[in-house]
Each structure stands twice: as structure tokens, then as C-alpha cells.
Structure 1
Amino acid sequence: MTFLVIALGVVVGAVMGLVGAGGGIISVPALVGLVGVPVADAMTASLVMAIASASTAVVPRLRGGVDWPVAAAVSAAGIPAALVGTAVNTLLPQPLLLIGFGALMLIAGVRMLRPIPDNASRGERHPRWLIHAVLIGLGVGMLTGLLGVGGGFVIVPALTLLLRLPMKLAIGTSLVVTVANSLAGAAAHASIGGIDIPLTVAFTVPAMIASLLGARLAGKLPGKGLQIGFAVLVLVIAVVTLVVTIIPLT
């Protein structure tokens, strides 16, 4: 089982490094479906992995690559929402969580097949940027706590479409928010159900290494091809997750 967890860490880390998001929506169903890890342990491990990988990826972007006011506003709303999402998570049965995960992955996969426009701006802030930032934070924070995902695949499109951030700023800002929300979500999940340390270490360390290598490789590959490949992978996992979860219920 350890070898399979390490292999999954490599795959998830490589995906995060290549496309800058999406680790959580792959890691949780993969750990549950392929390794047989309980959903609660898979979510905690996924959130720890998101903290480590996003922290590594944001370091080169700390100067000039993050919109700090937006990151602060989204995180301030997202942290308490992540705690609420974790509390709701404990009240829901595992099959319902997996069905919700599958549905979310379908939406994310379809969204990734469409190009995300860089509407961005010439440095102008959206006039209602603070309201939009808080709403984004509340939504992504709930997802983080409820489903154990960092939410980068949601944050980046939201920041570009609703706040008019340039893509580079949106990615860096998303990474900061992912770290903040995942810290809150991981702490809440661990306090409720504990943390499987061997599983988390075996999954997180190779994911960090693979994300660094993937980030270097990403600059040499066509962005559109990476985006489409990621979208197809997410859609395939979504369909498998939904089928495997729903068939036993019928």
C-alpha cells in the first residue's frame, strides 16, 4: 500500500506542478478508491499535501506575483468557512461526500476544457472587489472544509473572472489562499479524526518533489495541451468515482 500511496503522491504532485491546481480533486478519490483509505484520512492527507505543495510553489512569487490585499480578504473569509465546512462534513455519510466530489470534478473538468480569459486589467481594481473577494473566500473555504480540497481550480477562474486579476497574479494569489484555507481545514479535520502520519508523509513528500519537477517541465510544454490533458484526467476520475459510488447504492 505504501508504494501505491507514494506513486499517487508523485502523480498528484506532477499535476499540481504542471497546471498549478487540481491536486485535491484527484488525491481524495484516488486515495479512497485505489488505496482504500477512509475518506476522513484521505481529506486530511490531501490538505496537508496542498499546504506543502502550494507553499513551495508560492515562494518564487512572493515578490510581485501575489495581490496581497485580495489574498488577505479571500483568506479572511475562507478560514472560518473552512471550519464550518469541516463541521458539516462530519454530519454527512461517506457516499454523499464522494458523490459531491464527483459532481464537483465534472464541473471542474468541463470548466478546464474552456480557456480562462485573462481579462485583466491594466492594474485597475474591480469597483466591488472586496465584496467579490469575500464571496469567493466563503465559497472556496466551504469546499476546503467539506471536501478536503485546496480549491485552486476554483480560485484561479474566480479571481480572473470576478476580480479581473491578470493570470499570473491570480495563480500566485490562489496559492496563498490555498495555504491559508488548507491550514484551517487540515487542523479542523485532524482535531476531529486525528491524522494518519505515515500515510500523510508517504503521500506529501513525493508530491512536493514531483510538483517542483513538474513546475520546471511546465515551462517547456504547451499550456493548452496541459490544460486539456488535465481536464480529461479529471473527467475520467469523476466518472469512475460516481459509478463506483452510486452502483452499490442502487
Structure 2
Amino acid sequence: MTALLMALAAGAAVGLALGGLGGGGSVLAVPALIYLLDFSPVAATTASLLIVTATSLTGLLTHARAGNVRWKAGAAFAAAGLVPAALAGAAAARLPHNVLTVAFAVIAAIAAAGMLRTKASTEDGEQETPARPVRAVSAGAGLGGLTGLLGVGGGFLAVPALVGALGFRMRAAIGTSLLVIGVNSLAALSTRFATVDGLDWTVVAPFTGAAVLGAWDGKRLAARLSGAALQRSFAVVLLAVAAFMFADTLI
């Protein structure tokens, strides 16, 4: 029962993050699965991909209804990451557990720093700047590689990239990042079917269900709070997660 309650609570947090910020699902899901629910790093990243895929697609629907998804640009951005995601996903199972844990902590810290540096929003009344295809493709390929290697959908890196490289408004970046996350996660998951059978579905299923429900609430929360407040708060959480994971590898 304790594991079930922890799975539900962690799933709700993952859903709120994805629905509200367009990212952060894996950054919360992987540590929760490892440290709270006793998953191995490889099993945790596989389970994270399943959870994040279902949750990001749910969040995508809610943001699409609000007109916050740029389908063409988002599809091109995501397509650039397909091959890197598949290749990195195949390589992930061969890496030592400590390497995956440290790498994840580094990515979490970098994402937090980026969120603190990035302007929180480009207001809805401002004009979106033209997309820069070369930068978009480069950023999309890098995010795909991270997704496959670490089970990270890339949302917290995708949102700043969509704002900076493609000139999206913040709400459009959040909605479109869910498209990128869903595509990248599916590509990475396609290389991990051999590890799916070993997952504890009594944990993964309720975790996913709570995350899907949380994504709807996250979208409503995002509509009420400023992007600046959401980004700053979650950056602090990311830094705390990164510090905890670094410390754990040293003990």
C-alpha cells in the first residue's frame, strides 16, 4: 500500500509538471522510481518513457485545444531527434548504473540553470520571431539523444530551445514541447521492449494513471500562474534533485 501511495503521489507531480510546464516529467519520474520505489536505473528510465509518453500525449491534447501547439515546427523539431533517440536508447542498457545516475544529475542541474537564466515568457501580445531551421534541427537532435540515453523527454531543454531557436511565445513553447517529448519518448521506447517485461506494473500502472490525471490539472494551473513563478519554483526542485542524485553516487 505504501508503494501504491508513493506511486500515485509521484505520478501526480509528474503530470502537473508536464501539463503545466511542458517538461520535467522524467526529471521527477526517474528519481522517484529509483529512490522511492526501488527500480534500477535502467528499469526506471524505461518506465519513465512509458509514463512520460502517455502523460505528454494527454497534455498535448489539452494544450492543442487551447491553440498552444505549433504542429509543423514542432514536428520538424521532433523529427530531428528520432535517430539520435533510437541510437542512444540502444546504447543506454550497456552503460553502468552510476554513469546513468550521474549523467541524469548533470542534465537536471543544467536544465535548472537554463530555466533560471531564460526569460520566463514572451507575452501573448508580442510577435513570434521567425524560426531558425539550423538551430532548431541541432537542438532537436541533441534532445533526441538525451531522451534515448537517459529516459528524459527533454521538455525542460525543449521549452527554452523553442523560445530561443524558434521564437515561440512561452505558452506555445510549452504546448509544442509536449509534441516533441511524445515523439522522442516513443522513439526511445521502441528500442527498450526487451526491458518492458521486467517492469513492476503494480507500480507503473497507477503511477501513469495519476500522471495522466495530473496533466489536466497542470494545464489549468498554468493558465492561472505566471510562467516566471512556475519556472523559478521548478528550477529549485530540479537543483535539489540533482544535488540528491550526486550525493547518492558518492555514498
Using the size of structure 1 for normalisation, the TM-score is 0.89
Residue 73 of structure 1 is matched in structure 2 by 76
Secondary structure at 1:8 match in 2? helix
Residue 145 of structure 1 is matched in structure 2 by 148
**Whole-Å Cα distance in 2 between the matches of residues 233 and 207 of structure 1?**
18
- Check conservation: 1:117, 1:160, Cα contact below 8 A: no
**Whole-Å Cα distance in 2 between the matches of residues 29 and 60 of structure 1?**
26
Residue 88 of structure 1 is matched in structure 2 by 91
Bigger Cα displacement from structure 2, 236-245 vs 58-67:
58-67
Specify whether residues 43 and 26 from structure 1 end up closer, same or farther in structure 2 by C-alpha distance, changes over 3 A only: same
Bigger Cα displacement from structure 2, 191-200 vs 224-233:
191-200
Specify whether residues 15 and 69 from structure 1 end up closer, same or farther in structure 2 by C-alpha distance, changes over 3 A only: closer
Secondary structure at 1:62 match in 2? helix
Residue 190 of structure 2 is matched in structure 1 by 187
Residue 206 of structure 2 is matched in structure 1 by 202
Specify whether residues 203 and 153 from structure 1 end up closer, same or farther in structure 2 by C-alpha distance, changes over 3 A only: same
Residue 242 of structure 2 is matched in structure 1 by 238
- Check conservation: 1:33, 1:241, Cα contact below 8 A: no
Compute the displacement of 1:217 (Å).
2.6
Bigger Cα displacement from structure 2, 94-103 vs 83-92:
83-92
Do structure 1's residue 12 and structure 2's residue 17 form an aligned pair? Answer: no
Specify whether residues 17 and 173 from structure 1 end up closer, same or farther in structure 2 by C-alpha distance, changes over 3 A only: closer
* Aligned residue identity for 2:230: L
Do structure 1's residue 109 and structure 2's residue 146 form an aligned pair? Answer: no
Do structure 1's residue 125 and structure 2's residue 124 form an aligned pair? Answer: no
Residue 54 of structure 2 is matched in structure 1 by 52
Compute the displacement of 1:71 (Å).
1.7
The runs of 4+ residues in structure 1 deviating greater than 4 Å are 117-121
**Whole-Å Cα distance in 2 between the matches of residues 167 and 30 of structure 1?**
28
Using the size of structure 2 for normalisation, the TM-score is 0.89
Residue 29 of structure 1 is matched in structure 2 by 31
- Check conservation: 2:77, 2:136, Cα contact below 8 A: yes
Secondary structure at 2:224 match in 1? coil
Specify whether residues 193 and 246 from structure 1 end up closer, same or farther in structure 2 by C-alpha distance, changes over 3 A only: farther
Compute the displacement of 1:235 (Å).
0.7
Deviations, residues 66-116 of structure 1 (Å, cap 9, x unaligned): 222322222222111111111221221000100011111111112222343
**Whole-Å Cα distance in 1 between the matches of residues 56 and 146 of structure 2?**
17
**Whole-Å Cα distance in 2 between the matches of residues 208 and 105 of structure 1?**
22
Bigger Cα displacement from structure 2, 184-193 vs 205-214:
184-193
Bigger Cα displacement from structure 2, 173-182 vs 158-167:
158-167
Percent of residue pairs bearing the same amino acid type: 37
Secondary structure at 1:6 match in 2? helix
Specify whether residues 195 and 154 from structure 1 end up closer, same or farther in structure 2 by C-alpha distance, changes over 3 A only: farther
- Check conservation: 1:13, 1:210, Cα contact below 8 A: yes
- Check conservation: 1:160, 1:167, Cα contact below 8 A: yes
Aligned-pair RMSD on alpha carbons? 2.1
* Aligned residue identity for 1:224: A
**Structure 1 unaligned spans of 5+:** none
**Whole-Å Cα distance in 1 between the matches of residues 220 and 23 of structure 2?**
15
* Aligned residue identity for 1:204: T
Residue 215 of structure 1 is matched in structure 2 by 219
